[in-house]
Amino acid sequence: MEYVKDFDAWNTKKKIIDQKETSDHVFFAEREIWWGSLGLNIGYEQDGKNENFERPLLLIKKFNRDIVLAVPLTSVAKNNKFHHKLKSSGSFVILSQMRLISTKRLLRRVEKITDSEFEEIISKIKSLFP
């Protein structure tokens, strides 16, 4: 059976997320892993799952209270330069899927990774841009 993406359901959810008040902002920091509403995307871009179209995200760079650079996580093991295995959970950070998101997408905090592991990930991201 072929998988069919329900873009209409995501569009409905996205409208609700967009209407969140500024006062609803969450407090977050770099190095934290959050569940976030990433949505349904095109082609091989990472999709969210479940009714909130969510997936875990590692927060890389906080620009302000509204915008953050995030990298999605996956449980699918791949041994290449675009994936980094987290020591704490065994999940993989998908470095090639890094993107800027609104903090309105953030749902709930999971954990904060160590400084050393974060620096390792930042180094790998930098290596993607020679």
Q: With respect to residue 64, please indicate whether it lies within any of the assigned structural domains.
A: yes
Q: With respect to residue 102, please indicate whether it lies within any of the assigned structural domains.
A: yes
Strands 32-37 and 54-62: antiparallel
What's the residue count for the chain?
130
In the block, residue with structure tokens 């409208």: 15
Give the C-alpha separation, 127 to 52, whole Å.
33
Task: Please give the tally of structural domains in the chain.
Answer: 1
Q: Quote the mean pLDDT of the chain.
A: 89
Q: With respect to residue 6, please indicate whether it lies within any of the assigned structural domains.
A: no
pLDDT tens readout for residues 39-64: 877 777 788 888 888 999 999 999 99
Q: Which residues form the domain of 73?
A: 24-127
pLDDT band, residue 8 (cuts 50/70/90): confident
Whether 23 shows a pLDDT value over 60: the answer reads no
pLDDT tens readout for residues 64-90: 999 999 999 999 888 899 999 999 888
Entry pTM:
0.89
pLDDT band, residue 92 (cuts 50/70/90): very high
Q: With respect to residue 16, please indicate whether it lies within any of the assigned structural domains.
A: no
| CATH number for the domain harbouring residue 47 | 2.30.30.110
Q: Phi and psi dihedrals of 77, rounded to 5?
A: -80, 125
Q: With respect to residue 49, please indicate whether it lies within any of the assigned structural domains.
A: yes
Q: With respect to residue 116, please indicate whether it lies within any of the assigned structural domains.
A: yes
Q: Element (H or E) spanning 115, and its range?
A: helix 115-127
